[in-house]
Amino acid sequence: MSRPEELHFLTVAEAGRRIREGSLAPGTYVEALIERVRRLGPMLRSTITLASESALAAAQVAESELERGAWKGPLHGIPIGIKDCISTAGLRTTANSRLCSDWIPSDDAPAVAALRAAGAIVFAKLNLNEFAWSIPSEDDLYPPPRNPWSPDHFAMGSSSGSAVAVASGLCPAALGTDAGGSVRQPAANCGAVGLKPTHRLIDSSGSLGARTICELGPITRSVEDAALLLGALVGGNTSYVDSLKRSPGRVRVGVLSRYIDLAQSDPQISAAFSEALRVMSDLGMEVLEVEIEGLAKAAAANFVVLNAEAFAAHEQTLRARMAAYGLSARLYHAQGAFLSAADYIAALSVGEAVRGRVDDSLVAVDALATPVVPVLTAEAARTAKAQPHTGGSAIFTAPFNLTGHPAIAIPGGMSREGIPIGLQLVGRTGGEADLLRLAYAFEQATPWQAMHPPLDVA
C-alpha cells in the first residue's frame, strides 16, 4: 500500500498503472488528495469547489468495476480537476463570477463527459480569472491562486487554479481553456505541461470561452500524461501515447529569432530558451532560423476576436446585470461593444493569412520553438501591456490561437527567484502526435519535470 504523502506527485500514467495492477485503490488516492487540498487549499486558493462526496462515490464505483475486471483504460480511477468555466453535471460551475455563483449545470461539457467515459473522476472545480477574461483581484468571488513556487506572486491566468493544483500535487491533471495562452502560460509559470490542441480537435462546447479561438486542453505534470488525456478527450485514441516513446527521428525545429527578439523577454527567459535550443541540438535535432510574417499582427488580431466574441457572449447579461460582474470583468467584456463588424472580419482575415504562412513554414521544419511568455510573473505580465492576451504577455501564445495550430508548453528552465520558465513548441495542424513526441524527447533530456514546489518543507 502507498502512504498518502507518496501519492500527491504520482503522474497519471503511474497512478493508472498502480490502479490497474491493484496496488492503489482509487478511494485511497482520492482521500489522499482531498486531505492535501484541505491542508494547502487556503494558502494556494486554487480550488473553488472540492467535489469530495461525488469523487469518493465515483472512486467506489471505479473500485467495483476494477474488481470485476471492467478496466476502462489508463484514466480509470484518476481524479481530475476541471477549470470552473467548464460545465459539470450536478456540480456547481461558477466561472469565478457572482453571476454564476449558484449555477449547477444539468449536463457535462462533452470534454468532461469524455473524461468520465474514460473512467476519470471529476475531483474539483478550479479557480480562474472571472469568465477567463479579466484581471484577477482580491475582491473576486474567489481570490486569485498563488504560485506554489513563489506564493508572494499570483499564478498567471486564466487557468491559474488548474496549473496551481497540478503543480502542487492537489490533482494529477486538469482541464483548462486557452483563448490566448490561458493553458500554456499558467502551466509554464507553475512548472507544468499545458497543451492547446488544434482548433476543434476537442469539442469545446459547454465551456465559457471565445468560440473561434478558444480550445480546451490538458494541464499535467508530464508530456505522457498530456498524451493520455488528449487521447481520452478525442474519444479513446491511444496513438498519442503509443507513439510517444518512439524516436522523433531527425527533427527540424524552427526558431523565430527575429520575432522572439521583438518581445524583449526577461534575460532569464532568453537564457533558458537558448539552453533549450542547445538541448534539442544535443538530441540530434536540427535547429533552423525561421521567419513568419505577421505573427505580431496575429497576436493583436486574436485580441480583437476575443473582445468581439466575449462581448457577443455577454451582451444581454451585461445590459441586465452589469453590477454583478467584478469591475475588471465588467470592463473587459464591455470593450468589445465598440468594435465594428469590419474590425472583427479583418481580424479573422489576419488569421487566415497567417495560418497559411505558418503551414508553409511547417513544411520546411517539423515544429516551431518559442518561449511561452516573455516575463516571469503574473504581475509583470499585467504591466507588459495594459491588458493581457495582447501583443504584450501573449506575444508568443496568442498567434497560434488565431491560426489554430497545436502548441504545447513544457518546463524549460528555472529562474534565480525559483519561478519556472516554459518552452513552447508549435506543431502542424492535427500533428499532435509528432508534437508530443518532440516534447517528450525534450522532457526526458531535462531535469525540470521531476521538480516540485517546496510546499512540504517544514
Interface with other proteins by CB under 8 A: which residues?
Answer: 297, 300-301, 303-304, 307, 318-319, 322, 327, 330-332, 334-340, 342-343, 345-347, 349-350, 353, 386-387, 390
CB atoms near residue 267 (< 10 Å)? 8
Question: Alpha-carbon distance 296 to 256, whole Å?
Answer: 12
Closest CB to other proteins among 330 and 452? Answer: 330
Closest CB to other proteins among 198 and 328? Answer: 328
Closest CB to other proteins among 149 and 303? Answer: 303
In the complex, the smallest distance separating the C-beta of residue 285 from other proteins, rounded to whole angstroms, is 35
443 DSSP 8-state letter? H
Residue 147: name the closest of 450, 447, 373, 418 by CA.
418
Question: Alpha-carbon distance 160 to 81, whole Å?
Answer: 12
In the complex, the smallest distance separating the C-beta of residue 391 from other proteins, rounded to whole angstroms, is 8
In the complex, the smallest distance separating the C-beta of residue 97 from other proteins, rounded to whole angstroms, is 17
Closest CB to other proteins among 219 and 398? Answer: 398
Closest CB to other proteins among 47 and 390? Answer: 390
The DSSP result for 103-121, as a single string, is ---SS--HHHHHHHHTT-E
**430: Cα within 13 Å, side-chain hemisphere:** 1
Judge whether 141 and 130 are in contact, CB under 8 Å. yes
The residue count of the chain comes to 458
Judge whether 397 and 373 are in contact, CB under 8 Å. yes
Closest CB to other proteins among 87 and 393? Answer: 393
In the complex, the smallest distance separating the C-beta of residue 131 from other proteins, rounded to whole angstroms, is 16
Alpha helices in 219-337 (DSSP H): 223-233, 239-242, 257-262, 267-282, 295-321, 327-334
- Alpha-carbon distances of 86 from 16, 295, 330, 340, 434, rounded to whole Å: 24, 29, 20, 29, 28
Element (H, E) at 324: none
CB atoms near residue 69 (< 10 Å)? 6
Question: Alpha-carbon distance 285 to 278, whole Å?
Answer: 10
3-state DSSP assignment of residue 175: strand
Phi, psi torsion values for 409, nearest 5 degrees: -105, 130
3-state DSSP assignment of residue 275: helix
In the complex, the smallest distance separating the C-beta of residue 337 from other proteins, rounded to whole angstroms, is 5
Closest CB to other proteins among 336 and 412? Answer: 336
3-state DSSP assignment of residue 261: helix
Residue 198: name the closest of 363, 17, 352, 428 by CA.
428
In the complex, the smallest distance separating the C-beta of residue 341 from other proteins, rounded to whole angstroms, is 11
Closest CB to other proteins among 331 and 364? Answer: 331
Closest CB to other proteins among 106 and 316? Answer: 316
In the complex, the smallest distance separating the C-beta of residue 319 from other proteins, rounded to whole angstroms, is 5
Q: Which residues are catalytic?
A: 83, 158, 182
Residue 232: name the closest of 217, 253, 211 by CA.
217
Question: Alpha-carbon distance 291 to 307, whole Å?
Answer: 28
